[in-house]
Amino acid sequence: MISLEVLYSLIEENYVFLLDCDADEKLIYCSKELKKNLGLHHPASVVPHLEDVLDPAAIISFRKAICSVNEGTRGINAMLTPKRLRSTNLPMHVRYVEEDGNKHYLFFGAQIDTLNQINDWEREERVKELSCLYGVAEWIETSPNIHEFFSKLPKYLAPGMRYPAEAAIYSIYNDVEYGQEPVGDDFIVAFLVVNGELKGEIRIGYIRDSHELLPEEQKMLSEIGRILNLAMERKELSDGVALKQEEEAEFRERLAQLEKKISAREGELEVQQQKLSTADSYLQRINSGWEKASRRMETMFKAMPDPVMLIDPDLNVVMSNKADVQTGEKCYRAYFQRETPCPDCRISKVIRDKTPVTSNIRQEGKFLQLHTLPVFNENQEVDGILEFLRDITLEKTYEQQIQQADKLASLGQLVSGIGHEINNPNQFIRGNVKIVRQALEDMLPIVDAYYETHPDLKIARLKYAFFKDHIMTLVEDMSHGSERIKGIVDGLRGFARKDEGLLVDTVDVNTLLGATTRLVQNEVNKHATIELDLGEDLPSFSGNSQKIEQVLVNLIVNAAQAMADDVKGLIRVTTRREGSHIAIRIADNGRGMDEKTQKQIFDPFFTTKRTKGGTGLGLAISFRIIEEHGGTITVASEFHKGTTFTVRLPVGDDDTKMAEKS
């Protein structure tokens, strides 16, 4: 509905006098000129009454007009006669308006002398214009929808034109056209702008070129456009709720039918009232206990650490113990951030077989275990699914580690036996090499004498001179190879022996590095060359040799695995004494790491080699071992340039003295 303020302004643009009163004949509004004529000087707190300002005859005229307007009659007039000016009669038009449930009766007219100055045609045009404006304002409020409004708009606009019967009124709104377009280019137009957006326009002209348009008609259309722009936004919103209103009407009708049934049942209910009253106290006690049990169950449900969801057969979440899961959300989106159902959906199998299902799946590097249970209704049909999800990544990883540990234990037993089998023949080789060396040293002078008289002498099909220059080198190589076999076997047996975990060994870092590099030589040689730069006179310290060796093996193997696939890299191992610590640095020129990876490498189960069998425990265990020894392990890396691990182990005063004595 057009607001009263706009309506007041519209009327006062065309008429001198305006009076608004309610159904109790109390004055609500008076134009400035009319206040002077009525002699209104009441304080703001005093609300004047029509009887206070009008002549009795005018009161009767006003009351008749109000009754006629209430009955729906249009074109009603009244005669206003102020008490203080009994000889002055002002003809007034009457309109009825309702706003916020309050009735308003608007009386408006021109001053007598003003009317006398206006000819009949002008007076008629003003009345037509105001009547047209008001009719359009009423129609936009009473029309059922925007389509209906524009379809019948010509009916309300034509009376405001000079030649209503030949007026052509054309509208376009939201690209939909209504009415008849005017002939030629002689037409007036008003643009329809809603919320700052041009939605359409209204054009008014005539179906013949012989009629001219008046400036008053353009003024009227401009005012109508202004009113429509204010009201169209509300109209668009009201159309959106039309369907809802129909549903509400249907609901009210059903409600009325239900009320009739309820009324018919009231007699029966009265008979049952006494019985219900008796049972009420009992039910209250049960209900109280049920509410406590319900709250307790809800608390327990939400306290479960693992996600639990109740899901309907359409895969919608009905209830969940997790705050970030919304009711109505699809289970596959809530669980796995998928946009489509899982290919191996467990819920469909539960609905089909009516039996629980337990399954393990892998999701984004995690192992998840799902227990899916059917929820039955009274007909023993599945109308819901209760699903429990548990993260078993740690369990799976521990299981893998146990299997790996079992393999290593078996390997340790094999290493011990194999080492014994290798050492026995190797002892013969070591002993025999010494005898061969001594025999050659005794025999060569004799052969030299023989060679002087027999310059063509060959031994093993080699000229004697060449044989003599290289035979001792071959023997030394045999001796060195035998010693290396012994060192590797001793290293394997030491690495595989059972560790008691005590920090009671006298640890010589350089000796450990020598054994470690021999132990990993075959594995590392595929990817990199090891270069040792060991500091001199490093003190020994108390610790666990096997654990320190485990750390060194892990760091060197990791460095080798960090090399690029197409280039053989370099691993440089250095040891130095730095104050009260021994520093071991293992540097490689491999792929390096970004900052995010550097922050996570010591976390348990974090690995960048998951697809290659990595468990993510090697560096975590190494960190703990160095920490047990009171030392530190740090990393510095640059992406695509290399990585350096630095292990610092404390050297106590007692250890230093022990090293000096030895």
Q: Is the pLDDT of residue 614 over 60?
A: no
Q: Are residues 524 and 415 both part of a single domain?
A: no
Q: Are residues 657 and 551 both part of a single domain?
A: yes
- State percent of the chain over pLDDT 90: 7
Q: Are residues 539 and 650 both part of a single domain?
A: yes
pLDDT band of residue 576 (cuts 50, 70, 90) is very high
Residue 434 lies in a domain: yes
Q: Are residues 432 and 346 both part of a single domain?
A: no
Q: Are residues 412 and 351 both part of a single domain?
A: no
Q: Is the pLDDT of residue 492 over 60?
A: yes
- Comparing 262 with 437, the larger pLDDT belongs to 437
Please identify which residue in the block is written with the tokens 């750390």. 551
Host domain of residue 633: 499-661
Question: Each residue of 54-82: pLDDT tens digit?
Answer: 888 788 888 888 888 888 776 566 777 66
- E-assigned strand segments in 535-627: 541-543, 569-578, 581-588
pLDDT band of residue 636 (cuts 50, 70, 90) is very high
Question: What CA–CA distance (Å, rounded) separates 404 from 292?
Answer: 50
- State percent of the chain over pLDDT 70: 74
Q: Do the Cβ atoms of 17 and 32 come closer than 8 Å? A: no
- Tell me, what's the pLDDT at 87? 46
- Tell me, what's the pLDDT at 403? 65
pLDDT band of residue 429 (cuts 50, 70, 90) is confident
Report the relative pairing of strands 382-391 and 458-459 from DSSP bridges: unpaired
- Comparing 148 with 222, the larger pLDDT belongs to 148
- Tell me, what's the pLDDT at 658? 40
Q: Is the pLDDT of residue 199 over 90?
A: no
pLDDT band of residue 655 (cuts 50, 70, 90) is very low
Query: Quick one: average pLDDT of 107-129?
Result: 57
For residue 376, give the CATH number of its domain. Answer: 3.30.450.20
Q: Is the pLDDT of residue 186 over 70?
A: yes
Q: What is the token pair recorded at 627?
A: 């920490």
Query: Quick one: average pLDDT of 353-374?
Result: 76
Question: Each residue of 305-319: pLDDT tens digit?
Answer: 677 778 888 888 887
- The helix-helix angle for 393-453 and 464-496 (nearest 10°) equals 160
Residue 459 lies in a domain: yes
Between the CA of residue 39 and those of 52, 66, 83, 367, what are the distances in Å?
Answer: 10, 23, 9, 91
- Tell me, what's the pLDDT at 158? 82
Question: Each residue of 513-540: pLDDT tens digit?
Answer: 888 888 788 788 888 999 999 998 899 9
Residue 533 lies in a domain: yes
Most confident of 381-390, 405-414, 483-492: 381-390
Please identify which residue in the block is written with the tokens 């606009």. 157
- Tell me, what's the pLDDT at 647? 94
Q: Are residues 587 and 647 both part of a single domain?
A: yes
For residue 520, give the CATH number of its domain. Answer: 3.30.565.10
Q: Is the pLDDT of residue 86 over 70?
A: no
- Comparing 242 with 112, the larger pLDDT belongs to 242
Q: Are residues 621 and 513 both part of a single domain?
A: yes
Please count the residues of the chain.
662
Query: Quick one: average pLDDT of 629-645?
Result: 91
Facing residues of 93 across strands? 77, 108
Angle, vertex CA 375, rays to CA 370 and CA 381, nearest 5: 130
Residue 231 lies in a domain: no
Q: Are residues 382 and 421 both part of a single domain?
A: no
Residue 9 lies in a domain: no
Residue 238 lies in a domain: no
Report the relative pairing of strands 528-534 and 569-578 from DSSP bridges: parallel
Residue 121 lies in a domain: no
Residue 189 DSSP SS3:
strand
Query: Quick one: average pLDDT of 151-172?
Result: 85
Counting the structural domains of the chain, the total is 3
pLDDT band of residue 117 (cuts 50, 70, 90) is very low
Question: What CA–CA distance (Å, rounded) separates 515 from 494?
Answer: 10
Q: Are residues 382 and 412 both part of a single domain?
A: no
Residue 493 lies in a domain: no
- Listed residues 391, 420, 444: the one ending a domain: 391
Amino acid type, 260: K
Q: Are residues 539 and 624 both part of a single domain?
A: yes
- Tell me, what's the pLDDT at 303? 64
Question: What CA–CA distance (Å, rounded) separates 191 from 171?
Answer: 10
Query: Quick one: average pLDDT of 496-513?
Result: 75
Q: Are residues 505 and 378 both part of a single domain?
A: no
Query: Quick one: average pLDDT of 105-121?
Result: 59
Q: Are residues 634 and 503 both part of a single domain?
A: yes
For residue 181, the 8-state DSSP code is: P
> Residue 374: in which H helix or E strand, if any?
strand 366-376
- Listed residues 363, 391, 419: the one ending a domain: 391
Question: What CA–CA distance (Å, rounded) separates 225 from 67?
Answer: 32
Facing residues of 194 across strands? 197
Kindly report the average pLDDT of the chain as a whole number.
Answer: 77
- Tell me, what's the pLDDT at 383? 77
- Tell me, what's the pLDDT at 501? 60
